[in-house]
Structure 1
């Protein structure tokens, strides 16, 4: 007879194998039989623990969300705001979670929405702290700026393959992150235009159209 601990160990092994397989091949292209073979269990045992592939995916979604957002999660022992950075510094161990995260963020699942919302909220908190410390320039629409900064942070995760092809190296590797750091901070600190003509022109055009959607400039 299997013990309760055996069942828990098998369930975790199946989940972790499924996370890696879904991240590598995609949900639709990954079968329960393939996961079972890779995990060293029977397909019947997966059905016993999870019911079907959709239920298995839901558990994988929830687990990956908890890895990056749950302070009590013991897989990555770092504050939630630093968990992606910690994972990026050890892609050998945490790479499947990053790749799974990338697929989640583009698939429109409820778990992906929860995860994105948590990243957005964290960015909002950081910008609020920096605003209180008088580190930020005035913003026409602080919430839109929060969204754009969040997208800058998540873009390399979602577009990892395309960026690696362009740069010739994985941007999420230590070398890639070093190359990214200064240009990103230059962009956020100084911008890229040496003139305000485009910004002034956009403001004039929006004013002429009667646009009143700008947020608090503070």
Structure 2
């Protein structure tokens, strides 16, 4: 294959993948079709099958692309700084279609969505455990739970985007709503609403809660 042919082939593959992200986001995996994806990408059904084979293989490619893009964007944010307007414009342009896709994928209840979430938790735990410039070490004795809850909060906002959009008066998976949502998230991360005393008392009380097995044994007595 010539250099030009290879480049065109890669461009077609990316165009199909991007169209699939939007089709899966709108219709779900069950509702989306290879024919509909081909039409959205402006290619033939045969070309979609040439690049990806089946719809499930295309879904797997979208999952891998979504996760890798999130990882690369987060890494670049820490390396280059989130204050760069050029970076933020790029991140928003790239992230919003992926967030729309993931919002649908996470409520589909598929094994692929479960893997996507688990991979995101693992990546967050890895980042939190590293010495990253501009980020303080988390104050926790359970880093895995910290990463899982943080991931759940982030993904939860994607899943609840319709409710969040209604509350904020703008589509949170669009630029205006995303800007307002993210500014609020930064404010929340920057604030410490609870006093150290209240936090210490709450942690102590939670750590004294009996395990489920202990409760059952007491009831039996």
Shorter chain as denominator, the TM-score bin is 0.5 to 0.7
SS at match of 1:41: coil
CA–CA distance in structure 2, aligned partners of residues 60 and 115 of structure 1: 10
The yes-or-no answer on 1:175 pairing with 2:180 is: yes
CA–CA distance in structure 2, aligned partners of residues 208 and 42 of structure 1: 56
TM-score normalised by structure 1 residue count? 0.67
More helix by share: 2
Aligned residues: 200
Aligned Cα root-mean-square deviation (Å): 4.1
CA–CA distance in structure 2, aligned partners of residues 88 and 24 of structure 1: 24
Change in CA separation of 1:37 and 1:166 when aligned onto 2, cut-off 3 Å = same
SS at match of 1:79: helix
Aligned to 1:116: 117
Structure 1 unaligned blocks of 5 or more: 212-218
Aligned to 2:11: 9
CA–CA distance in structure 2, aligned partners of residues 136 and 199 of structure 1: 15
The yes-or-no answer on 1:49 pairing with 2:51 is: yes
SS at match of 1:169: coil
TM-score normalised by structure 2 residue count? 0.66
CA–CA distance in structure 1, aligned partners of residues 104 and 54 of structure 2: 20
The yes-or-no answer on 1:21 pairing with 2:56 is: no
Shift of 1:92: 4.4
Change in CA separation of 1:121 and 1:59 when aligned onto 2, cut-off 3 Å = closer
Aligned to 1:148: 149
Of the structure 1 ranges 153-162 and 120-129, higher mean CA displacement relative to structure 2 is found in 120-129
Deviation digits for residues 109-141 of structure 1, max 9, x if unmatched?
A: 5554454334323433454458xx9865564x4
SS at match of 2:29: coil
Change in CA separation of 1:82 and 1:18 when aligned onto 2, cut-off 3 Å = farther
Of the structure 1 ranges 158-167 and 105-114, higher mean CA displacement relative to structure 2 is found in 105-114
Change in CA separation of 1:192 and 1:35 when aligned onto 2, cut-off 3 Å = farther
